[in-house]
Structure 1
């Protein structure tokens, strides 16, 4: 009656071994470290370690170890204070050729790392760092795009010889076109519906009203969020953050977490810094190779390098990045990757005239961004900002370009997507405001970890003591299941790479109660059957069998609530929901199958008269 087949025990043992292995890295801890990696074509040479050792010794900054790995060098420190000082010194020593990032280097043995066993990531409330919540004014992008389309609509109507009185934008979401007669209005509606499929057109007497369709509006807003997220990730790299978290929160908010960073002013300066794109014509009258070799640059031009080759660009800027409001990668009519660029209406006319006069010539997209440089002067770190220009694309003008144009001649779809992102990331497409700022110090993070672990330990010990006192040996089995449940949660969080936050610890504590609750239901059911004069074996069978449906129902309802919290909640609430969900699923395995397996193993093949479950009822 109360026997499990061998394969179930093998499965449970396998799961336990799995949990122990993947939870083990969390016992080794981490060291504050600085990770140095080369940028672009820079390589790690043999002299780098010597430079680092000399710089740190001169500044009397102690470090635990310095190790070179393929692609980067890791310097470990005993505390975060030394880590933060060393980052500035190393950056000033090496310059902008290397990326110097704050990190936490795990002490986990190599054999565990080889099988993907890593410690859990800690959130800002546990590790310390800076949190920003940015508000994105997506309505401004809609209004800007409509302003550009107003110009194009007017051009299309004039080219089709359809007369109209005026085109206005009465509010942020509508475009209104006035006509003299119904015939012109109807002809315009047919033309504009074809040329502007993203708009919904509604007639009103002699007026034609246009507004973005809901799907187009959603796409525009989502594109704005993606553009800004890309810009943010690029800029955050300058802060030297190893594991930044930049993610959309709600419809028009972006959450930015910078673990290990404490300088709020510097972080805001980097995130709010302006970068841009500009388009310039290539100078073909002079030889770029000669200019690169001699260093003599012809007047009115500037020397750049593109794909390793020198090129000369005219100083005249034919289009500024602020005029580009969108860029999308796609497949052109020839089946090759292209990038479609949209220019704001106010700049389209001048851009059209310049490109019409330069058909057949090459046009370059130059990306300009201000980089932060640190130097050691008289033993002090001096920070300066230097604008860096880089040619990201060179293409031929095939025809006069207006409000929309294509960049062709791209080598692959992956490159086209990258170029479109770079064109969009020249500057924020819409205003971005800081609506929430929070700094969590490293000491507070350590205190949160201590208090969170302490609360889990106290809660677990109280529950363990109660179960042993009240249910005796069956309570001890339930306690083993409880410990195993916590082990499973830690292992799964570590394996998934999930971020543990303070609310996440609260979710684990809550799971302790949920896991024990299932065993309480089973044990009370077994007690009830014993009181009804059933045999111990029959009581065990009935207790687990009849309590199973109740346990599943209770856990499923809690699971639904956890999923709702994850769907509608923010980062911290989602952390609570994740740990609660994992805990519920693990508790169903440990509280039902594990305890039943142990009970069956001990009592399944025995003829017993009573059970050590906190009551004394002899079977007849």
Structure 2
């Protein structure tokens, strides 16, 4: 038990050394850590919102927007499927999207069975193991087919949209150059966004509140301006607000959307701030074809339902790239470029809660946490040394190394330290010496029985280790459940607790056993006061 082969000694020494190396940058300033050589670990602990200060925003998705988008997509699918049905096109008329459902009347009532089967072929199962479908198909008045999204289907659409929204929001925040944002779902339709270090949430709200749905549509040049001013648009057209405060009549069908954009950058043209954009190969071909077919016609660049520019197509645009101009400032051009690069949100989001945490509060929390940690360490060290002498001193060494390993491992994996995390760290300080108390008390018991020193120490470590491992396994399971089911501060506490449990077992059992073994081998004491 006390016999350590050289490879094991080296393994323990290298583990401790790695912890010291990875934790060392936390005791430097950010500038000093950044100036370290590239081969030296320089990652520091990321401080959470409650320690560093920053912005907290709670976003909520509009489920009605998902329903609306689903109906719009379903309308195009229904038209296409009826035209391309097996056995030939199915003639229909009076296709309606009112009431959150698609309905149409068949010209030939004899096509009713074929139409129903075609529409049921559009329906998809909700989940791999569920018997529910995302569409309900029914017949009214003998020749009118109604296609209605089911609640299970809408719920699945909302879930998928929220998952995609988290990724889009993450890309947008990353484009701002912020460090370690926290972006997590809360419930079915909410997303929590925490950005440490950002004291002004206005720019963040402006960035996250926009859907960034980009469309290129033809302007309806035949529309009557008086009718448009009265709010009436011709069939197949739509009235949209213009960037200058007026309105513009555009075709409902988009020539191309921003889904195929692969890059957008703010730039300048003729001294004015503009946004350049570039499509992928598929989008570039569609854009080229659309401009070739509409030379001489004005087309509108529509962002989130507002016309931001309406230039004329003077010649085909064949390079797959272009320029969006308007009354942009440098800041607004950069914001639009970020929005287009990150992609459109699949669902409209609105801010329902916001708050800003000042850096002074975070500094006070760090100071209080540091004082609590130092005080706890000193008091525990005094108790252990007074109670167990040399073995208590080894416990103090293990306690310090435990703290170093916690900081080193958290820095290595890029974990974020929060105020509950500091509480978890202080808790591990007290819990870390539990193992040494069990070991030392068991050694005392063996010595009272009259056993020699080395057998007593071996038995103490062997017997106590079983209890220590069993107890800490249950603690790790509890911490893992907290991490899995919790969010935000609960996860921060669980992470530090799990890391602290693992490192405390290593230092309290393995490291102290090595120190005791080396001392016994070197000094070979005849008596042991414990």
Both proteins in one fold, TM over 0.5: yes
**Which structure 2 residues correspond to residues 256-267 of structure 1 after superposition, within 5 A?**
256-267=193-204
1:165–1:177 contact (8 Å) kept in structure 2: yes
1:100 is aligned to: none
The 3-state SS of whatever aligns with 2:476 is helix
Deviation at 1:503, TM superposition (A): 1.4
**Which structure 2 residues correspond to residues 68-79 of structure 1 after superposition, within 5 A?**
none
2:409 is aligned to: 492
Q: Structure 2: how far apart are the matches of 1:509 and 1:369?
A: 56
1:328–1:341 contact (8 Å) kept in structure 2: no
More off after superposition, 510-519 vs 525-534: 525-534
2:168 is aligned to: 227
1:23 is aligned to: 23
Distance 1:493 1:108, change over 3 A: same
Deviation digits for residues 449-491 of structure 1 (CA, Å, limit 9, x no counterpart): 1111111111111111111122222111111111100000111
The 3-state SS of whatever aligns with 1:249 is strand
**Which structure 2 residues correspond to residues 282-361 of structure 1 after superposition, within 5 A?**
338=282
1:244–1:256 contact (8 Å) kept in structure 2: no
Distance 1:599 1:176, change over 3 A: farther
2:235 is aligned to: none
2:51 is aligned to: 126
The 3-state SS of whatever aligns with 1:114 is coil
Aligned residue among 515, 522, 541 for 2:432: 515
**Which structure 2 residues correspond to residues 512-591 of structure 1 after superposition, within 5 A?**
512-591=429-508
Consecutive unaligned residues of structure 1, counting only runs of 5 or more, are: 31-104, 282-314, 330-335, 343-350, 374-383, 391-417, 614-620
The 3-state SS of whatever aligns with 2:70 is helix
Deviation at 1:590, TM superposition (A): 0.6
1:566–1:577 contact (8 Å) kept in structure 2: yes
**Which structure 2 residues correspond to residues 102-181 of structure 1 after superposition, within 5 A?**
105-107=31-33, 110-111=36-37, 113-154=38-79, 156-157=81-82, 160-161=89-90, 170=99
Q: Structure 2: how far apart are the matches of 1:609 and 1:192?
A: 90
Q: Aligned pair 1:277/2:214, yes or no? A: yes
Q: Structure 2: how far apart are the matches of 1:370 and 1:445?
A: 40
TM-score normalised by length of structure 2: 0.70
1:22–1:117 contact (8 Å) kept in structure 2: yes
Deviation at 1:184, TM superposition (A): 4.3
1:484–1:590 contact (8 Å) kept in structure 2: yes
Q: Structure 1: how far apart are the matches of 2:80 and 2:250?
A: 25
2:373 is aligned to: 456
Deviation at 1:123, TM superposition (A): 1.9
Consecutive unaligned residues of structure 2, counting only runs of 5 or more, are: 126-132, 219-247, 263-279, 298-314
More off after superposition, 585-594 vs 256-265: 256-265
Distance 1:189 1:541, change over 3 A: farther
The 3-state SS of whatever aligns with 1:10 is helix
Distance 1:168 1:389, change over 3 A: closer
Q: Structure 1: how far apart are the matches of 2:394 and 2:212?
A: 62
Q: Structure 2: how far apart are the matches of 1:246 and 1:356?
A: 47
The 3-state SS of whatever aligns with 2:44 is coil
2:398–2:507 contact (8 Å) kept in structure 1: yes
Q: Structure 2: how far apart are the matches of 1:272 and 1:370?
A: 20
The 3-state SS of whatever aligns with 1:570 is coil
Distance 1:8 1:274, change over 3 A: closer
Deviation at 1:280, TM superposition (A): 6.2
1:132–1:255 contact (8 Å) kept in structure 2: yes
1:345 is aligned to: none
1:138–1:252 contact (8 Å) kept in structure 2: yes
The 3-state SS of whatever aligns with 1:453 is helix
